[in-house]
Chains A and B, each alone.
Chain A
Amino acid sequence: GENVEQHPSTLSVQEGDSAVIKCTYSDSASNYFPWYKQELGKGPQLIIDIRSNVGEKKDQRIAVTLNKTAKHFSLHITETQPEDSAVYFCAAPVGYSTLTFGKGTMLLVSP
């Protein structure tokens, strides 16, 4: 099955700095890589996803890059704001039915 490793487990940055979270996956057949943001006491919400036919995707201050050869993908947040503070999860498909999630990164943005 799919194995997803996520680093770092915690990340502290100053407001305005950039933040990068990295994930690696094991199944070379995987072709869909979402990122979720979870605020305290709430369910995760999709913030961006990428498919294997592209190498990078941007949405305002958020971008995701994918390197299929190395089997890793990364989340980039620029100009971080205190409201970006949350837990972020990457995920990759398991076969044709479910997603495997990384263990999460707690991002803390200090004013």
Chain B
Amino acid sequence: DGGITQSPKYLFRKEGQNVTLSCEQNLNHDAMYWYRQDPGQGLRLIYYSQIVNDFQKGDIAEGYSVSREKKESFPLTVTSAQKNPTAFYLCASSFGTGTEAFFGQGTRLTVV
């Protein structure tokens, strides 16, 4: 089945640690996105990539990093510089602006 897969579903991190969230798609989409969701805040864009080996910062990129070495994969690293990392993280992909964006099931990150 074609789709977009995020893993893990739940992730716990100690303060000061970096963690990497996985996002894989087999939809042959060129564009991939990372959003952060907090209660009452909607979806805020962290990073996006329109093509392999290229990515741009979104509205809240500080404390995060990404890579796009393969078309299918767009991992997000939450670094220790992110002061409030506890949130629900959503990955999405699409053929580009003006086309349907498909979302993964999300990763809930909790700092303990």
Contact = CB atoms under 8 A, between A and B. Distances in A.
Q: Which of B42, B100, B106 has the most CB of A within 10 A?
A: B42
Interface in A68-107: 89, 93, 95-104
Residues of A in contact with B, size category = 20 to 34
Interface in B16-60: 31, 33, 35, 40-43, 45, 48, 50, 56, 58
A97 B101 contact: no
A96 B100 contact: no
Nearest to B101: A99
Q: Which of B31, B97, B102 has the most CB of A within 10 A?
A: B97
Q: Which of A43, A45, A49 has the most CB of B within 10 A?
A: A43
B3 to A, nearest CB: 10
Given A42-B105, A43-B90, A32 B40 contact: no
Interface residues of B, number: 25
B98 interface: yes
Contacts, number: 57
B104 interface: yes
Given A44-B90, A98-B58, A93 B42 contact: no
A49 B106 CA distance: 22
Contacts of A93: 97-98
B64 interface: no
A12 interface: no
Interface of B: 6, 31, 33, 35, 40-43, 45, 48, 50, 56, 58, 90, 92, 96-98, 100-106
9 contacts: A32-B98, A43-B90, A43-B92, A44-B103, A51-B98, A97-B96, A99-B101, A101-B35, A104-B42
Interface of A: 6, 9, 31-32, 34, 36, 41-46, 49, 51, 89, 93, 95-104
Given A41-B106, A98-B33, 9 more contacts: A42-B105, A43-B90, A43-B105, A46-B101, A97-B50, A99-B97, A101-B35, A103-B40, A103-B42
